Structure 1
């Protein structure tokens, strides 16, 4: 009952938001595929469930995949396109995963509803389902996105958050996508799942001439820093991955905010959220209130899923997510 009430509240809040974001969401609707492919969302959910059951890191990968897609060219599945100099080839996307789950869902959709469901919608639905599968809130999302035809590696770096960003830099980038400072703190909660290579936070340490690493970022808990240094020893840092959340790695919860307050945020871009008065209050609130975080997550997730949406004559409905139609 409580979960149903929470979902109802999220949906109602979304309709309020629609008044502010009509241009981005005008072509989207709830139940967009109800007549043309009524099992579309169930097919995606089953693919996510199957992949996540085999590999508990899949939910975090699918959520990150959506972020990296929507922030570059909008939510149009441009990150899925393969080829020379595509988004997928940029070093910032080398560690992005979850593609197999997307491809699995798309193959099933093409079997039952050929040429109907866009890869862009699959990416968003899969990320939504990944959060729910990992224990997070269930969010109703509108569909009807179309797939973009453009994917360029040069568009990646200017449009995604670097782990060394300051609050001002992150706010500026989020604002350019129609997202607020509140959305920044809420969507950063995605780091409650997922993994990162040592290179993603290596700027918080210094490597000595003997190969040993020392902590240079005083904002990081010393014990936690020592654990990271033990994992990221010299010579293996390029291949070793660590959990974003050292406490509940594969669970979508509010532990991320507790970690930050305990100075155990993995990235510098996490830690700075408590050093700025514009964001610290939200971190403190969500660390104490998981229900509040879940409700706010639903609203911010919906806004993110509407960034740069293509509709009408824009883009296409790809038959294969990795290639444009001929």
Structure 2
């Protein structure tokens, strides 16, 4: 397993990597990366491009839009499960559910691209939930899990939950419970463990306590949780301690009972990227990851398992 660390910049939902190239989004599944780029590094919708890339063998596959890509688009990469596990139909989910205050119009679009058929399929959906712009989906066993919230909070209703997009049946599953209840000011982030379990980081606003929970069993329509994996008060020797991003980036090492959380070095004038190493005994170490190109750029970390999977190419 390899660890990939990228510094990204949130600016109107845009991501920019260290080299300055216009990388708007990145996700991975099954050894493949899905990258959203903009050739001219501006917000012209016509310049958005989508590419699937296998860094292990260098293969790429550029994906043409059904109509056009949009500034508000969200993406995830997954695959349809077959009886023969070696035969996988990789797919891309593209969706947006926003309100444009300039035009006073709602923007809603859900569609799925199949690499096997080289075609888009429209999914008709009117969700009563939303996924915040800084939340990143996590791929597990070919499906993608998201942290989501109820659009209109109501008493007696689960207002924060997990959602899974099932790439085999091309639909979102039921709301899955979290081991805690959060508000929109709290930090909630997702990560994968051994590519078959989900880890959730939680920090309540106004506290220095960081909790990490790991699922016991998880499928697209059900989840159960173990006891809390880590619960650490980060107040000492870090005073104060509040993760900068409401969707932090982290990795878990179950064997060593530690977690690595990436963040900025300072709340008010951040200049460097850092990694906080925490264990069951509490805070262990801060590792300097180097200078930050922009104080608004949160570092992103993910585990990557190299794969020789071949990317099916589009026909002539």
Q: Determine if the TM-score, normalized by the shorter chain, exceeds 0.5.
A: no
* Greater RCO structure (CA 8 Å; 6+ sep): 1
TM-score by length of 2: 0.27
TM-score by length of 1: 0.26
